[in-house]
Structure 1
Amino acid sequence: MRKISAPKLGIIAAVSLVCGANVYAADNGGPGEIEHIVNDAIHPVMEENNIPGMAVAVTVRGKRYFVNYGVASKDSRQKVSKDTIFEIGSISKTFTATLASYAQVIGALSLSDNASTYLPALAGSSFDRISLLDLGTYSAGGLPLQFPDDVTDQKEMIAYYRNWRPSSVAGTHRQYSNPSIGLFGYLAAESMGQPFDDLMEKKLLPMLGLSNTYIHVPQNQMSNYAYGYSKVGKPVRVTPGVFDAEAYGVKTSAADLIKFVEANISGAGLDETLQRAIAATHTGYFRVGDMTQGLGWEIYDYPTDLERLLAGNSSDMALKANKVEKLASPIPPQEDVLINKTGSTNGFGAYAAFVPAKGIGIVMLANKNYPNADRVKAAYRIMTALDRSLE
């Protein structure tokens, strides 16, 4: 896996800043440039979008820095910390992809297998001709962004898939879809003979060393679980739905999510099989504009410019079917790339990005759903400044 040398940047100690921010790292030391880099990018975003609280974590060649703003709850006025639990929405898909990749590495499945192989109830349906890879890369042929409202349980889910007909040939168009990657995760769990939630909470998350990441937040952690806020300022949390765990159901802290990002940068100290599985999620399968689709993650050549990142994270990319440029063969994991993923629920907005070759990464967790463009701009500004500081 990738090896990153120690940082040149100084270590930042806990200090109180204006606007309720706290900046600190694991070791003691004087305030440094990361404090200014992050504040300059985040303060305007919070003000413009009326965000109650944010947790930002940065990793620079193995050193973690945490910057916290505002409150986790308007009612209690509890401050955001690096351990505050946020909903991360579709960044959950990168965890689902990691589990499926792990299943392939241990031989439980092959991404080239037809989806119906792992769910006999789908035999004789369109899923006899749709692969697990098609599902994991949103290229099954037009599965929608969300299930219809009347699909509320497994019986209705099976009926929906059996009756669904693709609008395009599998592997020719990308249409971002919770039912697509949700089924992908469900079938991966079926191949391993255990429920998805159990595999995540009892196997994958412990293997990753994530002790504050959940599908179901336990009662003894509910006091650390932030409230999200709707557009009109009402407190909200995600509601259950079919394949919610697989598509958008992970709740985690900045401290854990940056650790997951570091696992994607280098994988140092992890089980070798898990390292291989994580690396495989960075394989590129097709291109849409300047974005290369991996498993869960979305990949760009690095250096890249802001316009390309904004286009790849735009509403057109999320809401429309986009014709793909099929690659002659998958692109193996690369170093000189920027890898990212956005995620949202009704009351939360999140973003994660990293550059393996530089050993830099960022996670941004907010208890309000705000525009992807604002997340990307802020993160790009921070990561560009971090990159320059390493020269």
Structure 2
Amino acid sequence: MSVKEALREICRGSNEVIALDYIEGLVERFYKTGERFVIKAGFDPTAPDLHLGHTVLLQKLATFQKYGGFIKFLIGDFTARIGDPTGKSETRKPLTQEEVERNAQTYCDQVFKILDPELMEVCFNSAWLNTLGSAGMIELTSKFSVARMLERDDFTKRYQSGQPISLVEFIYPLLQGYDSVVLESDVELGGNDQKFNLLMGRTLQRAYEVGKEQSVMLMPLLEGLDGVQKMSKSLGNYVGITENPREMYAKLLSISDELMWKYYEFLSTKSLDEIKEAKKGVAEGLLHPKRAKELLALEIVERYHGEDEARRAKENFDLVFAQNEIPSDIVEMTFEEGAWVCAILKESGLCQSTSQARRDIQSGAFRIDQKKMTNEDLKLQKGEYIFQIGKRRFIKIIIKDTKNAT
């Protein structure tokens, strides 16, 4: 693959690349000499369970590994104990060291499913920020003015509206930029909301005379299953990478035909040319959209669960949907007699809350033993029931007879 083609894959899906010519030079040098360059991506280990929205950045890191990048996977354990206020109205609650270490380990276990561990190093910024000291911190704060700090969009709006801005909020981007100084990164990746902080790395590398100014690549947020709002657990429109493979496969089959191509671009390892060919096949009627979606779902489930689990997920999906049958190995949960149906839906995980359970019942999305149920006040008697939300979510509910219990 030529340097030009490599850059096309590297820039795929990005919203903005600052100093692309520098990246081009790095890739060209790698092609000629085999010398790798440093890619920095920082992660605060505050939410260790990743969903596909998080993996957009990880997929990009994997692409860089193919074309000469060596990843400095930065766990912001020091900054996580401060709390990143970026884009928030208040500082996030700091984590304990034990929470940070536990979350970081879970994070690493998951990212190794995407990244080549031989071409990366996991770093913790406490290694240098703990020893920075007061003199070092004063020197760091002298590298950037308050006027420049107030150029950040959210700071400007809050300053003009009279909302308070803490010193911690000024210091946080300086610390993130200082990470780039220590790591001597050539490229830093991050989301659109991190642009100011990522550019800080360029500024501080120049101020500390590192001898390079990192390029910056900004990646967009991935829409969730609804195709409207960003993927988020709180919105319930996510696909977790540790989810049951059958659930993951079924969720991916539920996305719209239009959203499918965006998922291909951000989540698939297929080249842009291969995706273009598939899209052409769908447009010309040579490839059914459902089959294109199946291929995407199989690829993603196989990445996180293996080929056998991906195959079984597809077989189960086809059985349930094509033949309208109930899966044979669904999860069982036991409740006491008289349990309220909405409470069961919440505690079983089929719904996030009793309010959501009521809405699902009212909308006709809830079935018991394949019969639509509309009574949101129902209390169950002794017996066994198959609960179902929508077309793909099942759970077996066993109601005990509390009167005869010993």
TM-score scaled to structure 1, two decimals? 0.21
Q: Which has the higher helix share?
A: 2
Per the normalisation by structure 2, the TM-score is: 0.20
Richer in strand (by share): 1
- Greater Rg over alpha carbons, structure: 2
